[in-house]
Structure 1
Amino acid sequence: MIACSLYSGDLSDFINLVYNELFFYNLFTEYYKIILEIQPNFKTRDEADIFKKTAKQAKRIEDIEYDIAESREAIKITIRLLKEIQMTFPLHIGFLLYTEDINTFATAFNKLLPPIYTIYDLFRNVQIKEG
């Protein structure tokens, strides 16, 4: 952009760019001037403390990235399990109904079975004399 403005003969773009950079430079210096007024110990801070905080922040970022990766893996497993449940749930319900039918049949058959055994016992021993 600068080269185009210089070669075109029109310097208005170049002047606007210089004023823009000057504005941001003044904004930057005023910001740090205010920071130094608010925190006078900013100039005399120990750099080792800054490095420790930076390392601590980097460790936190690594931990967050690790947690995100673990969460993504857990979400993949959860989605896979939900798909499997979607496929097997009707079979599970069918087996539950089948089990309930067998239990109902067994309960009814247990009520019917003693009289059948009694009649069978009587017919089998019909020719045995008593006494």
Structure 2
Amino acid sequence: MRTPASRARTRTAAFGVGAALLLGGLAAPAAHADADRHKATTLDSLAQRTGRYFGSAVDNPELADTAYADLLGSEFGATTPGNGMKWYATEPRRGVFDFTAGDEIVAYAKAHHLKVRGHTLLWHSQLPSWLT
């Protein structure tokens, strides 16, 4: 089982790899360099130059990590709820629904003008306990 520290190292490495790929492959042509110099360049703005968006998955506990949340809200244009919208989270007891975790991620995304991309709703290892 992965520890929170190992997940944080993986996220940090993923951000670094993503930034290197975007900065290396999507940098603005020289003709636009002067015009873009006055705008803040984000990973998402670099992706948008080629008709893409740049996003990251997030789980609710990560939103409490200020550095992570600030980076997500400033560099990315989209987010995918990691677990907050899966079946075990939205129906923890049969017939009892709780959308709190998903709503928190959507509220964060709205506040930071991020698109929300859906994620796996059913996953073999994250089913509600009442189901099995």
Same fold (TM over 0.5): no
TM-score (normalizing by structure 1): 0.21
Structure in which a larger fraction of residues adopt strand:
2
> Which is higher, the Rg of structure 1 or of structure 2?
1
TM-score (normalizing by structure 2): 0.21
Structure in which a larger fraction of residues adopt helix:
1
Which has the bigger relative contact order, CA under 8 A and spacing at least 6? 2
